[in-house]
Amino acid sequence: MSEESEFQQAVRANIEALGKDAQLKQDTLDWMIRAGGDHNYSYNFSWLGRPIIQYPQDIVGMQELIWKVKPDLVIEMGIAHGGSLILHASMLALLEYCEAAETGSVLDTSQARRRVLGVDIDIRDHNRAAIDAHPMSHRIDMIQGSSIDPDTISQVEAYSRDYSTVLVVLDSNHTHDHVFAELEAYGRLTSVGSYCVVYDTLVEDAPDEYFADRPWGKGNNPKTAVWEFLKSHPEFEIDKEFENKLLITVAPDGFLRRLA
């Protein structure tokens, strides 16, 4: 066995052991709830200058997913300050850079074939202006509207028709009904072999008092929506290995891989 294969085998064993370490999982959850719930830890980061409301582990996780899937379109519900759109756009730009390097061709940045489509019910003027002014903006398009509005759904569907490898990210309103409706609307746009990432499934695992001022909480959140969706969508499965590898993630049971 090559050294590389041996290393990969050791990593897989690490991940399997992590997945079985109930105490470490509980300690991680306790830490995340304190850091996120008491200190808004996920607000502390930016990607290429734009605030991104994610944990660093999930940002690295997205990098791995984009490298593995090599999507030509990332669709995301929930823009906020735009950091996650810039993250996805920058990863797609790197894919094009790597393709050019591999084929010895000149990278034409004006082409921006791989694109990001973001949807938000309220794209604040200052956020839109900052996203538009960013060097990655030429591969980003945005739609303002509720992600579950039929008009938004048809616009996203029409946009996605020109793309063959699509990765979907759901990070908007975190109630059960909303996320379930998003899964029904956008899950099917996920290409076979790609992922539909559902963020903030962690709400189900946190004490209710952390979401007292929110419309979501235990029993009514993205994780319960995923569970209901999977009952009638065997074409998706939860990628537990991915979640176990990250350990620190706001998306437990939220990395949905499309199988068929």
Residue 106 gets which letter from DSSP?
P
Tokens (6 digits) for 121: 């019910």
Q: How far apart are CA 250 and CA 228, in angstroms?
A: 19
Q: How far apart are CA 189 and CA 59, in angstroms?
A: 22
User: Using CB under 6 A, which of 28, 32, 36, 53 touches ligand SAM?
Assistant: 53
Q: Side by side, which strands form the sheet with 236-238?
A: 140-144, 115-120, 73-77, 166-170, 195-198, 255-258, 236-238
CB of 78 to ligand SAM, least distance (A): 3
Residue 119 binding ligand SAM, by CB under 6 A: yes
- C-alpha Rg value of the chain to the nearest Å: 18
Residue 167 binding ligand SAM, by CB under 6 A: no
Footprint of ligand SAM on 57-116 (CB under 6 A): 77-81, 83-84
Question: Which phi-psi region, left, alpha or beta, contains residue 216 (left: φ > 0; alpha: ψ -120 to 50)?
Answer: beta
Find, among 184, 140, 178, the residue nearest to 159 by Cα. Answer: 140
If the CB atoms of residues 118 and 163 are measured against ligand SAM, the closer one turns out to be 118
User: Using CB under 6 A, which of 90, 172, 194, 220 touches ligand SAM?
Assistant: 172
CB of 123 to ligand SAM, least distance (A): 8
Residue 175 binding ligand SAM, by CB under 6 A: no
If the CB atoms of residues 108 and 132 are measured against ligand SAM, the closer one turns out to be 132
Stretch that binds ligand SAM, among 67-75, 153-161, 166-174, 184-192 (CB under 6 A): 166-174
Angle, helix 150-160 to helix 176-186, in steps of 10 degrees: 30
CB of 124 to ligand SAM, least distance (A): 8
CB of 4 to ligand SAM, least distance (A): 33
CB of 57 to ligand SAM, least distance (A): 13
Angle, helix 56-69 to helix 83-103, in steps of 10 degrees: 40
If the CB atoms of residues 173 and 224 are measured against ligand SAM, the closer one turns out to be 173
Residue 120 binding ligand SAM, by CB under 6 A: yes
Q: How far apart are CA 193 and CA 169, in angstroms?
A: 15
Residue 54 binding ligand SAM, by CB under 6 A: yes
Tokens (6 digits) for 162: 């020109």
User: Using CB under 6 A, which of 32, 52, 130, 225 touches ligand SAM?
Assistant: 52
Q: Which residues bind ligand SAM (CB under 6 A)?
A: 52-54, 77-81, 83-84, 119-122, 146-147, 171-173
